[in-house]
Amino acid sequence: MKIGECVENFILMDQHNNEFDLFKNLDKDILLVFYPKDNTPVCTKQLVDYSINQAELEKYGIKIVGINIDPIDSHSSFCANNKIDFPILSDSEKVVSKRFEAISFLGQNKRKLVLIGKDRIIKFERSTLPLFFVDTRHLINELRKTLLI
């Protein structure tokens, strides 16, 4: 999926074993945060940064949703241990991750951000190397430049 394309709906389970239906949650733009693995140093820093700065993103009408292929119980302990309070979805079958081209050649998730508008259109995407991530401040600056938010 690329910028300007309309997304298909998906339903995945979150860290609380609740269904997350993309289309039912598009009352705001949604930032899908694909990340390689729970409980790893860079992924933990990234998701904690987004969790701490969630209110800043919400000022711009953006909700954060994490996704990777780890199981629900891994997500549950990862979120509890790091006080992450936005949905982290389990894509163990890799269906959604493949659709968004967020699977590496090793079969793990890439580090990729995809912003889906309320109109179901992809507005922004950005991939980074696994050892790096875009922090909230840089993400907002980049979105301001590209989307004029």
The catalytic residues are 43
Give, in degrees to the nearest 5, the angle at Cα 49 between 123 and 81: 125
User: From CA 15, how far away is CA 60, in angstroms rounded?
Assistant: 25
Q: Which residue has 């997304």 as its token pair? A: 7
Residue 134 contacts residue 113 (beta carbons within 8 Å) = yes
Positions of E strands within 2-133: 11-13, 19-21, 29-34, 62-68, 88-90, 111-116, 122-128
